[in-house]
Amino acid sequence: MLLLLFGALLVGGYFLLHMTYLKLPRCKSAVKLHGKTVIVTGANTGIGKTTALDLARRGARVILACRDRRRAEAAVQEIIRESGNSQVIFMQLNLASLKSVRSFAENFLQSESRLDLLINNAGLMNTGKTEDGFGMIFGVNHLGHFLLTVLLLDRLKASGPSRVVTVASKAFEMGKLDFNRLMSHRDLASGSNNFQLFKKYSSSKLCNILFTYELAKRLQGTDVTCYSLHPGVINTEIGRYTGFWWRLCQAPISFLFFVDAESGAQTTLHCALEQGIEHLSGHYFTHCAPLLNIEVKARDDAAAKKLWELSESFCGLS
């Protein structure tokens, strides 16, 4: 009897936890997107796929910008089937290759007349180097998205009002930028064990937030706004390249405390669709609301400017 009572208390406590602390708010926007064009990077799985499906249901022309053709084309068919919107297409994009980013931008600008939403969603926590010799996490999570955004800015401006939404993470709180290491090693930190990979991931998310902060300054006077966000603690495939023991230890935590991709897409959708938030351009959002008391390092003007200039140099833009 005591065991049954204890079990009931555990289940009740877990349910209460999910309905309060772990429950994420939903995007309330009813905006329709007929005639609008959207790019979502990493849209063949997880939060990106869920985001793309929602935008397709609203009538947008949705470009799934992904590396894996097979998985992306399968996602395209699934989204078309579930949304009833045939204006969903795949375009090849490998964020670990600056050449691929340039090729994607060129192909997009030649084939599409407008761009209303750019959602920089793709991310990974993987060891190794990019095609251009950058740390994989820095190269994909920040640098590839930086170049993609810059190359598409003129089309975004011409299509205004338009938005750039970049999926960051609360993990940025554990991140830091060592510009000396970035310049000398083209990476955010040393090492390749799971903890060191997480440190690099956290620092790449700080890059996402500083990039958005600096981008907002450079977009002042235009009809383009930008936002970064924490999607929540989500059960996705982002850690699929981490070691076996890391994944084994994380599995029960993910099962019990992480929420699904649909919940994780809600703040992305809020930043993409909510009307009246234009004055919050450059801000970081969580739980479908701006975090106004964000850490000082995420509002470091000098660091944001230096990261932008270094990124330009790395991409051959300066």
CA distance 257 to 62: 31
Q: Please, what is the end-to-end C-alpha distance for the chain in angstroms? A: 72
Mind listing the domains of the chain with CATH numbers?
A: 30-314 (3.40.50.720)
With a cut of 60, say whether residue 249 has pLDDT above it.
no
Q: Is 14 a catalytic residue?
A: no
Give buried/exposed letters for 88-102 (b at 16+ CB in 10 A, else e): bebbebbbbbbebbe
- pLDDT for position 16: 53
Question: Which residue did the predictor score with more confidence, 20 or 315?
Answer: 315
DSSP H helices, 30-188, are: 46-57, 69-83, 98-111, 136-138, 145-158, 179-185
Q: Which residues of 217-254 are buried (b: 16+ CB within 10 A; e: fewer)?
A: eebeeeebbbbbbbbbbbbbebbeebeeebeeeeeeee
Pairing of strands 162-167, 117-120: parallel
State the catalytic residue, choosing from 14, 21, 201, 227: 201
Torsion of CA 99, 53, 227, 317, to 10 degrees: 10
| Measured CA distances, 189 to 196, 243, 261 (Å) | 8, 18, 29
Per residue in 15-27, pLDDT (tens digit) is 454 444 456 799 9
152 SS3 class: helix
pLDDT, residue 318, reads: 82
With a CB cutoff of 8 Å and minimum separation 6, the contacts of 217 are 282, 304
Of the pLDDT bands very low, low, confident and very high (cuts 50, 70, 90), residue 1 is low
Question: Does the pLDDT of residue 255 top 60, yes or no?
Answer: no
Quote the pTM value.
0.87
**What is the percent of the chain with per-residue pLDDT over 90, rounded to a whole number?**
82
Kindly state the percentage of the chain with pLDDT values over 70: 85
- Cis peptide, bond prior to residue 161, ω within 30 of zero: yes
Q: Does the pLDDT at position 122 exceed 80?
A: yes
* Interval 113-130 mean pLDDT: 97
Q: Is the pLDDT of residue 256 over 50?
A: no
Predicted confidence band of residue 47 (pLDDT cuts 50, 70, 90): very high
Task: Give the largest CA-CA distance in the chain.
Answer: 72
Query: How do residues 278-297 score in pLDDT, each as one tens digit?
Result: 999 999 999 999 999 999 99
3-state SS track over 248-278: HHHHHHHHHHCECHHHHCHHHHHHHHCCCCH
Helix, strand, or coil (residue 208):
helix
In 3D space, the residue among 152, 148, 157 whose CA is nearest the CA of residue 222 turns out to be 157
pLDDT band per the 50, 70, 90 thresholds, residue 260: confident
By residue count, the chain amounts to 318
**Is the per-residue pLDDT at 230 higher than 80?**
yes
Question: At 100, phi and psi to the nearest 5?
Answer: -65, -40
- Beta pairing partners, 225: 163
**Rounded distance between C-alpha atoms, residue 305 and residue 210, angstroms:** 8
Average pLDDT of the residues in 3-31:
63
Are the C-beta atoms of 298 and 209 separated by less than 8 Å?
yes
In whole angstroms, what is the distance from residue 282 CA to residue 258 CA? Answer: 27
